[in-house]
Amino acid sequence: MTADDQSRARYLYAVCRGLERSAIEDVTALDGQPLDAVCHQDLVAVVSTVPLEEFGEEALRRNLEDLAWLEETVRVHDEVIRAVSNRAPTAPMRLATICFDDAAVRARLREWYVDLTHVLDRIEGCAEWSVKVVAEAAEPGPEDPTSAEVLNGADYLRRKKVEAERRAARDSSVAEAASRIHDALVLLAKASRILPAQDPRLSGHRGTMVLNAAYLVPDEEQEAFAALVARLCTGDDRVVVDSRGPWPPYSFAMLEPR
Amino acid sequence: MTSAAPAKRDLAPVALVDLLDRLLGTGVVVAGDVVVSLAGVDLVEIRLQLLVTSIRAEMAERRRAATR
């Protein structure tokens, strides 16, 4: 695609190394378009054509707030990433990475060549695992808080203090459980990232998420990693561990800021 | 440098909330050309972060409605 067409642009899904063209032949991209490859040396940018009336700056501002549009776009983006990351080392791009044309894509590959090579070296032969540790919702205290009004002031304060101490002990014990799990998993991972805890209203978990981590696990360690997670899950009733994977290395493809 | 074709993995599905964390989250994935030529990366990235907040609120609302 060249810059002649002002109404369309290139959506950049991922940069791969040594991707064979056959890997993208049967994948339907956004807007029902086929995937294309833009190459620079051994790097292959996986792109498709999108209309600017949907992916231009103004349109993106509008569309990113449309949950149905966002969900569909995220899903297609993910399908493309999965298709190629099964076939070659793949650095996924952020959602809605738009270039004007193939020349702009190639310019990016040139500009980022060294960084992209480092990223691809890091993630090659690895997959991402998500591990979330959730503390069960606190047991309601023995005392009914509505009975507080029948206490005198000193008793009320004393009870508040006991409750606060109990809560603090519980929090630190849960944090200790989470860091024990993280410390163990890190040993089998090539890299790890701690992500912000998720809102239970979104993830649907019960209780408090005390760890939302991503681990970059070498293929040969996948089984050991899964087994370790399973072992860490049992024998600790303070927390519930939710482990998912293998995933494309979404959390490990960022370029270091310069 | 072309590596031998890696073994195919059976990648597991990723939940929407986890994808949003990774695809819109702060600095998690490669910050792209994102409409660079149109607006400048910073503007777009800041907007994405702001958007995540409102999107999450909307998702939470929808989930609540679904479980009612």
Distance from CA of B25 to the nearest CA of A (A): 9
Taking an 8 Å cut-off on Cβ atoms, the answer to whether A89 and B6 are in contact is yes
Cα gap A137→B40, rounded to integer Å: 44
Q: Which of B9, B15, B21 sits opposite A127 (nearest CB)?
A: B9
Taking an 8 Å cut-off on Cβ atoms, the answer to whether A94 and B47 are in contact is no
The length of chain B is 68
Residues A142-163 as b or e (16 or more Cβ within 10 Å = b): eeeeeeeeeeeeeeeeebeeee
Determine contact: A100 vs chain B, CB below 8 A.
Answer: yes
User: What pLDDT, on a 0 to 100 scale, did the predictor assign at position A101?
Assistant: 86
pLDDT, greater one: A195 or B28: A195
DSSP state of A216: E
Q: ipTM of the assembly?
A: 0.80
Taking an 8 Å cut-off on Cβ atoms, the answer to whether B33 and A89 are in contact is no
- Cβ-in-10-Å burial (0-12, 13-18, 19+) of B1 comes to exposed
User: What pLDDT, on a 0 to 100 scale, did the predictor assign at position A1?
Assistant: 60
pLDDT, averaged across chain B: 56
| Rounded (10°) CA dihedral A27, A30, A35, A40 | -140
Cα gap A112→B30, rounded to integer Å: 10
The pLDDT of residue B24 is above 80: no
Give pLDDT < 70 ranges for chain A.
1-4, 138-150, 201, 254-258
Q: Using DSSP bridges, classify how beta strands A8-17 and A90-92 pair: parallel, antiparallel or unpaired.
A: antiparallel
User: What pLDDT, on a 0 to 100 scale, did the predictor assign at position A175?
Assistant: 85
User: What pLDDT, on a 0 to 100 scale, did the predictor assign at position A229?
Assistant: 93
Q: Which of B11, B24, B37 sits opposite A86 (nearest CB)?
A: B11
Taking an 8 Å cut-off on Cβ atoms, the answer to whether A204 and B20 are in contact is no
In the numeric block, which tokens belong to residue A196?
A: 């912000």
Q: Categorize the per-residue pLDDT at B68 as very low, low, confident or very high, splitting at 50, 70 and 90.
A: low
- Cβ-in-10-Å burial (0-12, 13-18, 19+) of A217 comes to buried
User: What pLDDT, on a 0 to 100 scale, did the predictor assign at position B22?
Assistant: 82
How many DSSP H helices and E strands does chain B contain?
Answer: 2, 0
How many DSSP H helices and E strands does chain A contain?
Answer: 8, 9
Q: % helix / strand / coil in chain B, to the nearest 5?
A: 55, 0, 45
Q: Which of A57, A108, A251 sits opposite B28 (nearest CB)?
A: A251
- Phi and psi, residue A27, nearest 5°: -100, 125
Cα gap A72→A83, rounded to integer Å: 17
Distance from CA of B14 to the nearest CA of A (A): 7
